[in-house]
Structure 1
């Protein structure tokens, strides 16, 4: 291993350690209040920025830490175990950082990448409109740019983020066009939002986004991707989103251990390790990946239920960590889901064989 690689590995290990410290000492102690008030304190964003956690997706050659993929997964799981609301909102940011880092639009990259990587600029995404067929969000070529029309049902970070990456499908070619816009410049005449009242993660300030005749210039386009290539990259996103249920499981294991219940904690730890291994191995096999992702989401529900039973009556009181983790486990069944995952979970919970 070269000296540079050794340095990057050590830097990544230090970031993983810091992520778990922040999860335990900063995020989790405040998670109940975040849930109660549906508000993430600004201090959380500053803490994450000061610790360098907005640029973790950047490769070393672009000034990032050059994390190994397992290190990135560990950091995301740690954050999810601290405060799912904060971590879920922050997670969206990294897709924009990656898009800027690999974009051929040098001017856009120069304009936004440094601020996004430092956390000076916070970013969100509206991917979901481009995923289904037929798509919910379409773009039409106009003179000097693109006209966007459509609907994105869940866009998180509204009012928290300064940048929004909107993905849509070209009405002519079905290519996926992604543009980055500054949210405070979006005209009311073209963009309408409706707050979505979530049972968990409500502090993410998720909205339903309606777009009609929003024109973005070519200078705002961060990528144009053929549809088959776009879908080929979705497995990595599924693996990354799999950190959500494992964050819940990690916190349940910790709380069971603190409560003097080492046996169920160890049993859940062993089950999580087996599913996590299958998730990693499934990156090249979509069927295996989806099954492991479904098993991870189900494990989160079962782990949270274990904590409820172990806690007893106090777990029925609104605001108890066990009560909140049950809602967050349910959140991981649906958030960032895809149809194959949904069908596996329906079959798993209902006992209907053959659904996949």
Structure 2
């Protein structure tokens, strides 16, 4: 990875075009279709797909750098694309471990399919360990899914939805079923994404009204409840690491904007640029000290996933922890950047104003602060008595 240059796949001119559209996308509360079209043309949707299947054959650590870079231009675009990349990343993690059941996802991504992430459900804090969506088996091995998913990014444009549901008919206990379904009349995408920030993700509610997953697209059946099954690890690892990458990219952009503002602004009191003011220098130094740790942590953890390093049960603490740290760090850096830039950053036309709203979304993604702390507490103190 040492020779990898993210600017090759995400050149400056492409990044600037995406950045130039971000404010209007946010203002109009629409999906950034032009961004997706240009990224698809650049091969971005297949960066994690093996070269022999038509992709770029990149490692997770390399794609983390790409997502950090993309988020500096448009956090919403990066977060939306993240959900597609999660599924191609899961296919890679499982394929690297000898499980080829998601090869069709890799082939689909190389052919232009857009995969959405249909896991989140209102009130379901079990997340990957449970589901309120009914999964009813068919005689041929397929499944019928009925339920409601929330925060389905790429709402207007996805072509395939990766999801899970609960099969309560199995004689050996409830099974969580992971599968992929096509866009069809049995799927309703609600136009209900009207949020404070991350508006371009268009993470709409998705209603499943008996949508059928073909037998060849049912990829895993696992026991309900906590599990170390490869698909659970694959989803959790790629989701947390790429999510942390996006918010780390938000922090980098806020830091860069703060540095620009400090150099541009002049103190009426001293007549000198704010970049020479000791308080401002302290503030920006604190932002940089907080930011600098995250790219390094992401690099190491992504490389460990790529290499198949076995951290055992500690993986869940490491992964939820890096996501939590990335989000809290990014929020702190954006807060400090707003103070550095001054009152102009409070206007919606200011990029920092948008970053301030966008970064708040991070606290709602799994693992949320409560889950991250609970996982860490159990790792270090042991589980609570039953």
Please give the range of the TM-score, normalised by the shorter of the 2 chains.
0.7 to 0.9
The structure whose RCO (Cα within 8 Å, separation 6+) is larger is 2
Q: Given that residues 169 and 175 in structure 1 are in contact (C-alpha distance below 8 angstroms), is that contact kept between their aligned partners in structure 2?
A: yes
CA shift, 1:9, in A, is 7.0
| Greater mean alpha carbon deviation, residues 331-340 or residues 155-164 | 331-340
The answer on whether the counterparts of 1:20 and 1:78 sit within 8 Å (CA) in structure 2 is no
Distance 1:196 1:239 in 2: 25
For normalisation by structure 1, the TM-score amounts to 0.80
Distance in 2 (CA, whole Å) between partners of 1:75 and 1:165 is 23
Q: Which residue of 1 is the match for residue 16 of structure 2?
A: 25
Superposition pairs for residues 112-123 of structure 1, below 5 Å? 113-118=106-111, 120-123=112-115
Q: Distance in 1 between matches of 2:251 and 2:11?
A: 14
Which of 298, 319, 326 aligns to 1:296? It is 326
Kept in 2, the 8 Å contact 1:80–1:248? The answer is yes
Q: CA deviation at 1:104?
A: 4.7
Check whether the contact 1:136–1:152 (CA below 8 A) recurs between aligned residues. no
* C-alpha contact 1:268 1:303 (8 A) present in aligned 2: yes
Corresponding residue of 1:180: 180
Q: Does 1:326 align with 2:356?
A: yes
Q: What are the Cα deviations for residues 192-248 of structure 1, in whole angstroms up to 9, with x where unaligned?
A: 636232211122222222324333331332444554314333134212211122011
Distance in 2 between the 1:287 and 1:96 partners? 22
Q: Compared with structure 1, are the counterparts of its residues 187 and 73 closer, same or farther at alpha carbon in structure 2 (3 Å cutoff)?
A: same
Q: Cα distance, 1:76 vs. partner? A: 0.9
Any idea what the Cα deviations from partners look like across 1:50-87, whole Å, max 9, x if unmatched? Answer: 22211111133433323233211100111112101111
Residue 151 (structure 1) aligns with: 148
Would you say the 8 A contact 1:99–1:222 is kept in 2? Answer: no
Match of 1:64 in 2: 55
CA 1:68 to 1:329, structure 2 compared with 1: closer, same or farther past 3 Å?
same
Mapped contact 2:291–2:330 kept (Cα < 8 A): no
- Aligned match of 1:235: 237
Corresponding residue of 1:351: none
2:309 matches 1:309: no
Using the TM superposition, give the Cα deviation of residue 324 of structure 1 relative to its aligned residue in structure 2, in angstroms. Answer: 0.9
1:256 matched residue in structure 2: 258
Q: What residue is the counterpart of 1:140 in the other structure?
A: 136
2:64 is matched with which residue? 73
1:126 equivalent in structure 2: 118
Cα distance in structure 2, aligned partners of 1:117 and 1:202: 27
CA distance in structure 1 between the partners assigned to 2:70 and 2:214 by the alignment = 36
* Alpha-carbon contact 1:23-1:82 (below 8 Å) kept: no
Instruction: Measure, in 1, the Cα distance between the counterparts of 2:322 and 2:15.
Output: 27
State the 4+ residue runs in structure 1 displaced beyond 6 angstroms: none
Q: Which runs of 5+ in 1 are unaligned?
A: 1-7, 348-355
What is the distance in 2 between the residues matched to 1:97 and 1:236?
9
Q: After the TM superposition, which of the residue ranges 35-44 and 69-78 deviates more from structure 2?
A: 35-44
User: What does residue 207 of structure 1 align with?
Assistant: 204
Once residues 38 and 191 of structure 2 are traced to their aligned partners in structure 1, the CA distance between those partners, rounded to angstroms, is: 29
Task: Tell me how large the CA RMSD over aligned residues is.
Answer: 3.2
Change (3 A) 1:63 1:158: same
The residue aligned with 2:88 is 97
Q: Which structure's CA Rg is the greater one?
A: 2
Q: Deviations over 1:254-302 (max 9, x none)?
A: 2122222664445423322223434555663332443333222111111
On the 8 A contact 1:279/1:293 being kept in 2, the answer is no
State the secondary structure of the residue aligned to 1:93: helix
How far has the Cα of 1:94 moved from its partner?
1.8
Distance change (3 Å), C-alpha of 1:329 and 1:98: closer
Instruction: Give the count of matched residue pairs.
Output: 331
Displacement of 1:342: 5.7
